[in-house]
Copies of this chain bind each other. A is one copy, B any other.
Amino acid sequence: MTASIQNDTFLRACLRQSTDYTPVWLMRQAGRYLPEYCATRAKAGSFMGLATNVDFATEVTLQPLERYKLDAAILFSDILTVPDAMGLGLTFTQGEGPKFAKSVRDEASVAQLEVPDMDKLRYVFDAVTSIRRALNARVPLIGFSGSPWTLACYMVEGAGSDDYRHVKTLMYSRPDLMHKILAVNADAVAQYLNAQIQAGAQAVMIFDSWGGVLADGAFQEFSLAYTARVLAQIQRSFEGAVIPRIVFTKGGGLWLQQMGELDCEVLGLDWTMNLGLAKQMVGGGVGVGTKGKALQGNIDPNVLFSPPYKIITQVHQALDSFGAPHTDYKTNGPTHIFNLGHGISQYTPPEHVSALVDAVHEYSGQQRRSVART
């Protein structure tokens, strides 16, 4: 199935299949910590100038793969492209992050929301196709979107927030309006991800970056239910290849058991969750036909500020915490895709990333060889 990809470790791990080592990629791996990224961004003039230009988007997506032995590429784009296509007018102001020209806070603005014409997002799909071509089957390409709830946070707040006051006010005061926004978002996200798959994305990830700010009860009703609504509409395969679906809720550790019931292949974890415990809870058993979630994560991006020998120790601890992987290629079992627990910081020294990536490959390979020996 994944024979046409030179390095299919990531896709195999997504499907709980055995691999020779633990695959690794990093959220926001194409980003400001790389001088070559900053150079391309300077040429593009702005963040959206970068994201909407197919050549630039292709260039920056591939940059981290030139430096590091990463096992997957992720589309360079932003989680807010969908609400932008809905007409909310996304801009990025220097140092302040994303801002929408219009926010959605009342009955009238909610009534106007609809699933955008996917043609408005053509630049994203074109970038996916271009990146696939440029990757030339080296590693698989991951497509992505923000979750319905996370998009709603930005749409209602009109920008980032530290208290989520407006979106939660709407949610607690007018849950009916919030449900309308989320239903439109879910259907839009599903169409968006399907179009990415058709353009060439070989796995898709839903970033529920702000699910963790919700109260217990509200998370299930306003975030999880709409992530499930997206998943139900995503196509399961394309041109004969299964398309793994990854769901990552930052701060969602308390709801892991419930997330384990989502119809997806992989759950992303942040650093607050113990990997070994997560594996026990949702990783499933070993054996033909066993079910469970592959786990992706989860070290604190701030680990990358420590010296390489400390980074290596943290990598070993995370791999040990997940435990020895299964090594029988004929069966299924719990698998781990190494990643950070959140996007890499812009202040990360690029050479520290090599230490992490190489340590994951080396140590996880050793783990398997020592299991095979015993």
Q: List residues of A whose CB falls within 8 A of some B CB.
A: 162-165, 168-169, 172-173, 212, 214-219, 251, 253-254, 271-274, 299-300, 302-303, 305-307, 310, 314, 317, 341, 345, 347
Please determine whether A272 and B299 come into contact, CB atoms closer than 8 angstroms: no
Give the docked Cα–Cα distance between A300 and B168 (Å). 9
Residues of B within 8 A of A314 (CB): 172
On whether A274 and B165 interact (CB within 8 A), knowing A173-B306, A254-B254, A314-B172, the answer reads no
Query: How many subunits of this chain does the assembly comprise?
Result: 2
Residues of B within 8 A of A219 (CB): 272
Please determine whether A172 and B271 come into contact, CB atoms closer than 8 angstroms: no
Please determine whether B302 and A163 come into contact, CB atoms closer than 8 angstroms: yes
Give the docked Cα–Cα distance between A347 and B163 (Å). 11
Residues of B within 8 A of A345 (CB): 163, 165
Please determine whether A272 and B251 come into contact, CB atoms closer than 8 angstroms: yes
Please determine whether A305 and B165 come into contact, CB atoms closer than 8 angstroms: yes
Which A-B residue pairs are the 4 nearest by beta carbons? A168-B302, A215-B271, A172-B306, A169-B305
Q: Specify the chain B residue showing the minimal Cβ separation from A164.
A: B302
Q: Specify the chain B residue showing the minimal Cβ separation from A172.
A: B306
Which of B162, B164, B172, B341 is the one whose CB lies under 8 Å from A215? B341
Please determine whether A300 and B165 come into contact, CB atoms closer than 8 angstroms: no
Give the docked Cα–Cα distance between A273 and B168 (Å). 17
Please determine whether A165 and B302 come into contact, CB atoms closer than 8 angstroms: yes
How far in angstroms is the closest Cβ of chain B from A366? 21
Give the docked Cα–Cα distance between A88 and B317 (Å). 35
Give the docked Cα–Cα distance between A214 and B298 (Å). 12
Give the docked Cα–Cα distance between A219 and B253 (Å). 15
Which of B215, B300, B305, B341 is the one whose CB lies under 8 Å from A300? B215
Residues of B within 8 A of A305 (CB): 165, 168-169, 172-173
Give the docked Cα–Cα distance between A218 and B317 (Å). 12
Q: Specify the chain B residue showing the minimal Cβ separation from A218.
A: B300
Residues of B within 8 A of A300 (CB): 168, 172, 215, 218
Give the docked Cα–Cα distance between A112 and B18 (Å). 53
Give the docked Cα–Cα distance between A317 and B163 (Å). 22
Give the docked Cα–Cα distance between A350 and B216 (Å). 25
Please determine whether A272 and B302 come into contact, CB atoms closer than 8 angstroms: no
Give the docked Cα–Cα distance between A217 and B169 (Å). 35
Please determine whether A216 and B273 come into contact, CB atoms closer than 8 angstroms: yes
Give the docked Cα–Cα distance between A165 and B349 (Å). 13
Which of B169, B214, B217, B274 is the one whose CB lies under 8 Å from A216? B274
Residues of B within 8 A of A274 (CB): 216-217, 254
Give the docked Cα–Cα distance between A274 and B303 (Å). 31
How far in angstroms is the closest Cβ of chain B from A344? 11
Which of B163, B168, B215, B271 is the one whose CB lies under 8 Å from A272? B215
Please determine whether A173 and B216 come into contact, CB atoms closer than 8 angstroms: no
Give the docked Cα–Cα distance between A270 and B27 (Å). 28
A-B contact pairs, 14 of them (CB 8 A): A162-B162, A165-B305, A165-B345, A168-B303, A169-B302, A169-B305, A172-B300, A172-B314, A173-B306, A173-B310, A219-B272, A251-B251, A254-B273, A254-B274
